[in-house]
Chains A and B, each alone.
Chain A
Amino acid sequence: MAHEQHNYLNHQKGIWSWLTTLDHKRIGIMYFVAIMSFFFLGGVFALLVRAELFTPGKTLFSADVYNRMMTYHGAIMVFMVIVPGIPAIFGNFVLPIMIGAKDVAFPRLNLMSWYMLMIGAAITGSTLFLENVDTGWTFYTPYSSIKTGLGVIPMVLGVFIIGFSSILTGLNFIVTTHKLRAPGMTMNRIPLMVWALYSTAILQVLATPVLAITLLLLIAEKTLGVGIFDPQLGGDPVLFQHFFWFYSHPAVYIMILPAMGVISELVATYSRKVIFGYTAIAYSSLAIAGVSFLVWGHHMFVSGQSEFAGVLFSFITMLVGVPTAIKLFNWIATMYKGSIRLDAPMLFAIGFMFLFTIGGLTGVYLASTGMDVHFHDTYFVVAHFHYVMVGGTLMALMGALIYWFPKVTGKIYSDLAGRISWVFIFTGFNVTFFPQFILGNMGMPRRYYDYLPTFTELNQMSTFGSWLIGTGFLVGLYGVFYALLKGKEAGNNPFGGKTLEWTTTSPPPHENFEKTPVLTGGPYEYR
């Protein structure tokens, strides 16, 4: 190196400059560190839960400890890892660069969102040392409101604050996308990752307030005993489920839409082709966001809702398959006759398509009311949503990590480490969760501490798979440290990407571009 390059990493120095930074790129890195720590914690809980289920009856812990571990695994993974994951880390880092902006619209609010996630996580985490919290991540009433201990209050309060963080991030992204696009960057020229983040942001802003009021009502129920969810006082515990899923079903798409955005980028770059059906992929994100609000009732087919509601929710739920399939077929059409390079990120993208398809198709089983009565609250459901969320979001997260790593740090992530990590995660994932489909079909209920001896072999297979996944993520983590310490210099565009972030230096300067870019064409002009 002839001279020290001036970039956002050396723009200011010291820990304090990081904790008070208003730079979206630094905030993205802070999210990365925080969320990966949560991910590690949630992963440890997952391994412990699986270890406990290695044999029927007591293996390592009491039923009480098991219930708590299962609750923390779910709550941490959903509220602190998968929901904020891709938007907060990669959305923060690449969204402004991809549209040619210098920063997000509200940098202070952005920093505040990070602190809110930290405060919420601290409050939620503090319940580990308080009274038992064993409700599962859904906090279903009446168990949470009447039966179990007061630890639910700080737990729920923490999630409430995390929800605020999510709302503010979404709000920031919407205004950024509307107002800060570079000259020539029309809405039909923004990269598909931005379309995905934009649709996600709409969901975050419109769905999360309903979670907020649901959690507030639960707190009111617990402290004031208002009786809205208590049948003894005239209330209805099922109302909680309606409210909860009115948020939490759209939240499933808050988790998956950004992942789909990542896959669109990866498929275009590693196939060296113009993305097939740009408009269809872009608008299908909005379609998924829209439909997601009308499907919450499929969580409640056996709650005693009317048959008419069941049929209606069943139909609308299957409708989600349409825009999802549009995306999938467009990715495949993009790959068709492309110059595909099976680098690690592309392997993760293909893994995503494979696993997400299985998750999506089993979703159709669960959307059919008749079959859902059979599968409801069995391991089939557990397998289904892990295929969708883990197989979807975490695959995309790993792909995004390796793909944008050079842009973020200036160093190349070892492709070999990425591939080894992929082999472990991909095989481990199928070994863990495929047996659970069979277990569910055989009738093993979810959430339970104990099971019939008949289910032992499949459970042991599943537990063995969880170790493979754990190994895979550890290899991925090793890859991060290896690349930071010994990685090769990346150059500005190591993978031949065509979107705007590859036109600036790696790492980018403080204001993203030396000169504001002017767009004259679409985002994926390969050939």
Chain B
Amino acid sequence: MSTANHTGGFHHAHHFDSAEHQYESSKQGIWLFLVTEILMFGGLFVGYSIYHSLYPQVFHAGSKQLSVVLGALNTVVLLFSSFTMALGINYVQRGLKNKAIIALAVTIACAAIFMVVKFFEYTHKFHVGTVPGKYAYTEELSASGEKVTKVGALLAEASKLSVAEREHKLHLDETEYEHLTLLEKTKNWPLFFGFYFVMSGIHGLHVLAGAFLIFWVLLKVIKNQVGPEYYTPVEGVGLFWHVVDLIWIYLFPLLYLVG
């Protein structure tokens, strides 16, 4: 590009005095962008706290239905991936190319594991009918004239079966059956899953975006476009990844552990 100055292998754009100057500016820009990300999620957290204070029982019953084991697994996976990301940046800074490639690849793998776990969590929720808002309701009306939820329909079916048959036919174990019964007794429970799917969904999109960005810097490492003298993109993507991780650290207790 005509806008680049080549000095000693590394180039900085024409409107900066030095590589250092450009690095400082880029870093400020990335931090500002991360502020906007946190503010965007902030809106969701505000909505969450308002409804949590209005309907604590909804959030109690809803969180019981989420799998703490899978949530905790994902938390560990993301924490570990933050660690490997930090290692990756460190290796790039020290010029250890092969180690950097491994660290970044592991980070991407962690993102993939996270998404796979999320996939199983989501499909199970579709299966039992714990979905948001209007999709949680069936067309039917109960004897008392209220709308029947999909969970209600499933429970009605399950109540006719023995415990073993539930496990076999409906893939419902006894604890889950109890949790769903508790849920069904709570008015407006689909609101919880509105928050669950919106918050974890937008976070999931960020995980995907992060994985693509890490892949992008991984290619840069392979092509020797980043190294000890220039690692701004790696560090920027790393900061983004840490924020994605950080948001999950808030989402996990708020959604899974409030009960």
Contact = CB atoms under 8 A, between A and B. Distances in A.
Interface of A: 22, 101-107, 109, 167, 171-172, 174-175, 178-180, 205-206, 208-210, 212-214, 216-217, 220-221, 224-228, 230, 233-236, 239, 243, 511
A-B pairs with lowest CB-CB distance, top 8: A234-B188, A226-B194, A225-B134, A213-B43, A227-B133, A102-B15, A225-B133, A209-B40
A22 B2 CA distance: 11
B47 interface: yes
Contacts of A22: 3
B43 A210 contact: yes
B29 A105 contact: yes
A226 B191 CA distance: 7
Interface string B17-36: 00001001110110011011
B29 A106 contact: yes
23 contacts: A102-B15, A103-B14, A106-B29, A107-B3, A171-B33, A172-B29, A179-B21, A180-B15, A206-B39, A209-B43, A212-B40, A217-B44, A224-B197, A225-B132, A226-B132, A233-B188, A233-B190, A234-B58, A234-B187, A234-B188, A235-B194, A239-B47, A511-B14
A290 B135 CA distance: 41
Main secondary structure of the interface of A (DSSP, over half): helix
Contact of A210 (B32, B39, B50, B132): B39
Given A179-B25, A234-B55, A214 B198 contact: no
Contacts of A106: 25-26, 29
B47 A105 contact: no
B29 A175 contact: yes
B191 A228 contact: yes
Contacts of B32: 171, 174-175, 205
Contact of A209 (B39, B135, B190): B39
Given A106-B29, A233-B188, A233-B191, A217 B47 contact: yes
Contacts of A233: 133-134, 188, 190-191, 194
B42 A210 contact: yes
B195 interface: yes
Contact of A105 (B25, B133, B197): B25
B117 interface: no
B176 interface: no
A235 B55 CA distance: 10
B254 to A, nearest CB: 15
B161 interface: no
B37 to A, nearest CB: 7
Given A107-B3, A180-B15, A205-B36, A227 B190 contact: yes
B13 interface: yes
B109 interface: no
Contacts of A167: 36
A259 B198 CA distance: 38
A8 to B, nearest CB: 13
Contacts of A206: 35-36, 39
Contacts of A221: 133
Contacts of B197: 224, 226
Nearest to B45: A213
B17 to A, nearest CB: 9
A157 to B, nearest CB: 14
Contacts of B135: 224-225
B148 to A, nearest CB: 15
Contact of A235 (B15, B21, B24, B191): B191
A339 to B, nearest CB: 37
B202 interface: yes
Contacts of B16: 180
Contacts of A172: 29
B41 interface: yes
A227 B40 contact: no
Given A105-B15, A234-B51, 18 more contacts: A106-B26, A171-B33, A178-B28, A206-B35, A206-B36, A210-B40, A213-B44, A216-B202, A225-B133, A227-B190, A227-B191, A228-B47, A228-B195, A234-B55, A234-B187, A234-B191, A235-B51, A511-B15
Interface string B103-145: 0000000000000000000000000000011110000000000
A175 B133 contact: no
Contacts of B55: 234
A227 B29 CA distance: 36
Nearest to B194: A226
Nearest to A22: B3
A228 B28 contact: no
Contact of B198 (A101, A105, A217, A230): A217
A214 to B, nearest CB: 7
Contacts of B134: 225, 227, 230, 233
Contacts of A175: 25, 28-29, 32
B53 to A, nearest CB: 12
A101 B13 CA distance: 13
A377 B90 CA distance: 58
A172 B50 CA distance: 34
A175 B14 CA distance: 16
A220 B198 contact: yes
Contact of B43 (A179, A230, A243): A243
B109 to A, nearest CB: 29
Nearest to A171: B32
A224 B132 contact: yes
A511 B13 CA distance: 12
A208 B36 contact: yes
A145 to B, nearest CB: 11
Interface in B69-125: none
Given A107-B13, A179-B28, A224 B3 contact: no
A105 B25 CA distance: 7
Interface string B237-251: 000000000000000
A102 B14 contact: yes
- Residue among B43, B58, B135 with most chain A CB within 10 A: B43
A208 B37 CA distance: 11
Nearest to A210: B43
B15 A230 contact: no
Interface string B151-165: 000000000000000
A452 B25 CA distance: 59
B29 A209 contact: no
A98 to B, nearest CB: 15
Contacts of A214: 43
